[in-house]
Amino acid sequence: MQQNRGQWQSTAGFILAAAGSAIGLGNIWRFPYVAGTNGGAAFIVLYLACVLLICLPYLYCELAMGRHTKKNPVGAILKLRGGGPWTLVGALGVLTGVCILSYYGVIAGWAFGYIFKSFLAPSMTLGDFSANALLGIPLFAIFILMTVLVVARGVEKGIEKAARVLMPMLLLLMLLLIARGLTLPGASKGVEFLVKPDFSVVTMTTVLAALGQAFFSLSLGMGAMITYGSYLPKSANLQTSGAWVALFDTGIALLAGFMIFPALFALGGNPTAGPPLIFEALPAIFAQMPLGSLVAAIFFILLSIAALTSTVSLLEVPVSYFVDDRRWTRAKSVWVVGGAAFLIGLPAALEPSSPALQSISLMGATGFLGVMDLIWGNISLAVGAMLLCIFTGWVWGFRNAGAELREGGGMTAAGVAFWGFFVRFVCPLFIFLVLLSLFPLGTRILAAFLG
């Protein structure tokens, strides 16, 4: 079905689309609250180390697999390995795409609704807003629908075109809000929170949070970059393109920190507010500003834009599987997968109004949405990344993958050797240890070794 496959029209188009996938609620909603509850600057240092030492080498695995095979995660493994249990790792990626889309779409729907709420009901809390199923479900449906419509238009006309317009707009709007926050009296305390690390607050949980956040933020571990890499021509330089994507994503996460914390500290907010941080604290801050409703609306437009380029990639992974390997049309695939994500996400949309759904808990995560995020947004991405790292390094072979990375004037031979060491040893081992720390028995084993 090669005729159904698209190709990016330029490397810049790919970089924008891949950065669009990476930059999303993960950067603007999740990064600030996770950094806020994990000590600020110390967490950020760990996060940067994870991006550079673990995520970037791993990103090259996904890009090499994608471009070499020109397939979705399942098809890529089938092509490289001809079937067997490794195919299940690809299938896990496809399933993870649908499941992350399901709850991510709910939060994206709130962000979208907040554009209008800024004008219509500025003092309404997130609790009251999200507990109204008559708001939450239609907003969720609208967001899935927008995603379906972009992905239905295909790679060049839909995804690439949307990213080209939306991503520069996002950067511009963020810079505007940062300038506003930094000029408030008392903003420097927020800057300090972001740049003066206190390592005494770091625990294994902080490391896990940093690694999980880095994978989620860079869209890694479920084959999104295999899929996006599959639309790249041989002439593209994977090394520099991948580095640009990581740089943009990390830059936007840091900018989100600088957009939120200086203003938050200036106006006496609490950095450890958790998931509602930007939905509660920011509107409170905006309310104290001149033209506050307008600034709030701009902020939530920005957040919706960032979320849309990410939901598009979450949908594209399963859609590319059905198009490549099940020979479905793109139109049928987007509607079926989008519909499935909507149904799976309904409990997440209903959770704020349902004590039963709120009472679900697993390994420290609470509520249906929190548990979904733990399973799919944390564990599944880390497991997927560890296995795909082992697959690239040892099964497909780092030299074969390295040959793909060298195409298009990419990596040097020495670069491949250096990268190969990371994907064969450092990355899988580090991810394994972090995963181990999730379980009580694992924590005890680690403690015994680490003393």
* Residues linked to residue 362 through DSSP beta bridges, in sequence order: 365
Among 130, 219, 230, 250, binds ligand PFF (CB under 6 A): 219
Residues 6+ apart with CB under 8 A from 159: 17, 20, 150, 151, 153, 312, 313, 316
Residues 6+ apart with CB under 8 A from 98: 314, 318, 337, 340, 341, 344
Does residue 174 bind ligand PFF (CB under 6 A)? Answer: no
Does residue 26 bind ligand PFF (CB under 6 A)? Answer: yes
User: Of 217 and 437, which CB lies nearer to ligand PFF in the complex structure?
Assistant: 217
Contacting range for ligand PFF; rule: CB under 6 A; set: 25-33, 239-247, 260-268, 276-284: 25-33
Per rule CB under 6 A, count of chain residues that contact ligand PFF: 15
Nearest residue to the partner ligand PFF, using Cβ = 26
Residues 6+ apart with CB under 8 A from 65: 73, 76, 77, 80, 226, 229, 388, 392, 396, 401
Name the nearest CA neighbour of 163 among 112, 105, 228. 228
Does residue 222 bind ligand PFF (CB under 6 A)? Answer: yes
Angle at 319 between CA 315 and CA 322, to 5 degrees: 155
User: Of 20 and 271, which CB lies nearer to ligand PFF in the complex structure?
Assistant: 20
User: Of 109 and 402, which CB lies nearer to ligand PFF in the complex structure?
Assistant: 109
Does residue 310 bind ligand PFF (CB under 6 A)? Answer: yes
* Residues linked to residue 361 through DSSP beta bridges, in sequence order: 366
* Residues linked to residue 365 through DSSP beta bridges, in sequence order: 362
User: Of 222 and 427, which CB lies nearer to ligand PFF in the complex structure?
Assistant: 222
Contacting range for ligand PFF; rule: CB under 6 A; set: 20-28, 49-57, 228-236, 414-422: 20-28
Among 15, 16, 22, 209, binds ligand PFF (CB under 6 A): 22
Among 314, 348, 350, 369, binds ligand PFF (CB under 6 A): 314
Residues 6+ apart with CB under 8 A from 112: 139, 142, 143, 300, 304, 307
Residue 125: both structure tokens together: 């809390």
The interface with ligand PFF within residues 51-110 (CB under 6 A) comprises 100
Does residue 14 bind ligand PFF (CB under 6 A)? Answer: no
- CB of 21: closest distance to ligand PFF in angstroms? 5
Residues 6+ apart with CB under 8 A from 35: 43, 44, 47, 194, 257
User: Of 258 and 376, which CB lies nearer to ligand PFF in the complex structure?
Assistant: 376
Residues 6+ apart with CB under 8 A from 134: none
The interface with ligand PFF within residues 115-144 (CB under 6 A) comprises none
Q: What is the DSSP letter of 233?
A: -
Q: Which residues form the interface with ligand PFF (CB under 6 A)?
A: 21-22, 24-27, 100, 216-217, 219, 222, 224, 310, 313-314
